[in-house]
Structure 1
């Protein structure tokens, strides 16, 4: 059993690449330390499965840092920025689900900073602007049967709820959600996309049942944090 509620925290700006996530997770688990791992969980399905396996074997909590769980709200292009040599600048994907549902999305660091998504249904649609960031207010634009309503969500701390929730899971011996299986689910999809881009053919994934899904029961609201004043040092460079 783990030696008390020790926790290994790894957030954005990791000091090691994603390819090292498995190694550090395994080291922490062997030492009986609970792990909150930044996304992407790893760079292969095999690494994700190994991380889940050792967390179970060592009886430690493994959570993947999907901060929006606690909040209310195929083709490639060549990269031009030398910092990202060998990395695709832009990627688009089309995903087909059961019952005729379709998801289409694009992401890229060579495009304008757009952070939004739109859900289109039979009777209306929901547009969410500034959907994935945490520095700006977010806006919901809901159109239902021809009537449109807008709702603005104030900026608040998205990292504190994540840490509070994980701490509660450790102290109360609860299984975190998002768990390692959610991280694995994402890597399965990413791996399939890369295979599809390589072969030019669709890739079918077998069903991957989840024990739990995100819900409003996980909502934790904390006020936005102010940037700390530098102490005897210049502010870090942006960009």
Structure 2
């Protein structure tokens, strides 16, 4: 078993990661790091976690033998500090998206992991989900010809007071859900975008959006001529899908991003329509099982720190384009690896969770 410390016991840890680890076959949570010991005590009892420490006890925990890896689910601006400290202690790191809030911090995280000889993985759970990988396999197998256009929407109504609405942690729909659209487009075209354009909307009469935008619409251009358009929003009805149009056909994944629903693929070509309903898996259980396999075998994870950095560079360019009204160049190194079928893990879902 690979033993994990959960750093940050908020909603995503309660709703998804802690239950998911319990569904995996090779991973276990042995510690919870949080500022709320009462809440952590109940979570620890429910999930059978043996140790609770405050944030001031994080370094001491890392020095001990009880933890092999950390899962960092803190506000975005805290990712770098806690990741670098874990790396220096020789612990592997699984960190939520976006990787950091600026390129300097992201590079520091990558360098710390490299110097310590540990793995840093960005938590792209969809890389271990069957429908997502099937889309990429269809494109690789010429099912729609050469991909030309990518279109996506990922939206929901964010509740007032949600941490995603705080500017201090680089909150907002672009960073929280737009990153899924960016990541999907990058792998659909198997290239890095070279230019970004964007527009935003912030309603003046909605108290939720005093610090962040309500909606972001972005356009990315890829070297081959591929174009990716998407809208990310915290102020619209729930929707999550993307469509890829190629020279000979098109495919659509709807639902396409959320972990609570199974993905469904629709492929159109030559007047025929084929639909595939994929089984619902536990995305977080699949993700942690894959990462633990990487740790056990010494195989670097596909969604490493550079993968998170590539998305960050696109996010920063989109944000700057929206602020300035001018197109922004993006410079990222080509990625040699993309999600493949061997990365899929069929971890069953569970209804057993404790959420405050």
Same fold (TM over 0.5): yes
Query: 1:164-175 alignment to 2 at 5 Å?
Result: 164-175=289-300
Larger relative CO (CA 8 A, sep 6+): 1 or 2?
2
In structure 1, the residue corresponding to 2:109 is in which secondary structure? helix
Query: 1:78-93 alignment to 2 at 5 Å?
Result: 78-79=202-203, 81-93=206-218
Displacement of 1:83 after TM fit?
A: 4.2
Any conservation in 2 of the 1:35–1:62 contact (CA below 8 Å)?
Answer: yes
Using a 3 Å threshold, how does the CA distance of structure 1 residues 225 and 81 change in structure 2: closer, same or farther? farther
Any conservation in 2 of the 1:124–1:146 contact (CA below 8 Å)?
Answer: no
Match of 1:8 in 2: 70
Q: Distance in 2 between matches of 1:19 and 1:69?
A: 24
Name the structure with the higher helix share. Answer: 2
1:209 equivalent in alignment to 2:271: no
Displacement of 1:189 after TM fit?
A: 0.2
Using a 3 Å threshold, how does the CA distance of structure 1 residues 173 and 125 change in structure 2: closer, same or farther? same
Partner of residue 30 from structure 1, selected from 68, 88, 91 = 88
1:53 equivalent in alignment to 2:111: yes
Any conservation in 2 of the 1:120–1:126 contact (CA below 8 Å)?
Answer: yes
Match of 2:151 in 1: none
Displacement of 1:3 after TM fit?
A: 8.1
1:224 equivalent in alignment to 2:286: no
Displacement of 1:141 after TM fit?
A: 1.2
Displacement of 1:99 after TM fit?
A: 2.2
> Alpha-carbon deviations, 1:48-93, whole Å to 9, x = none?
1110001101111100100010111111111554344311100011
1:149 equivalent in alignment to 2:274: yes
Q: Distance in 2 between matches of 1:54 and 1:64?
A: 15
1:41 equivalent in alignment to 2:99: yes
Q: Distance in 2 between matches of 1:58 and 1:113?
A: 42
With normalisation by structure 1, the TM-score equals 0.88
Bigger shift: 160-169 or 106-115? Answer: 160-169
Any conservation in 2 of the 1:3–1:33 contact (CA below 8 Å)?
Answer: no
Bigger shift: 112-121 or 134-143? Answer: 134-143
> Alpha-carbon deviations, 1:2-51, whole Å to 9, x = none?
987711112xxx3x320111011111111111111011101111111110
In structure 2, the residue corresponding to 1:160 is in which secondary structure? helix
Match of 1:66 in 2: 124
Match of 2:59 in 1: none
Q: How many residues align?
A: 226
Partner of residue 200 from structure 2, selected from 76, 88, 107 = 76
Could you list the runs of 4 or more consecutive aligned residues of structure 1 that deviate by over 6 angstroms after TM superposition?
2-5
Q: Distance in 1 between matches of 2:236 and 2:213?
A: 12
CA RMSD of aligned residues (A): 1.8
Any conservation in 1 of the 2:313–2:332 contact (CA below 8 Å)?
Answer: no
With normalisation by structure 2, the TM-score equals 0.60
Q: Distance in 1 between matches of 2:84 and 2:277?
A: 42
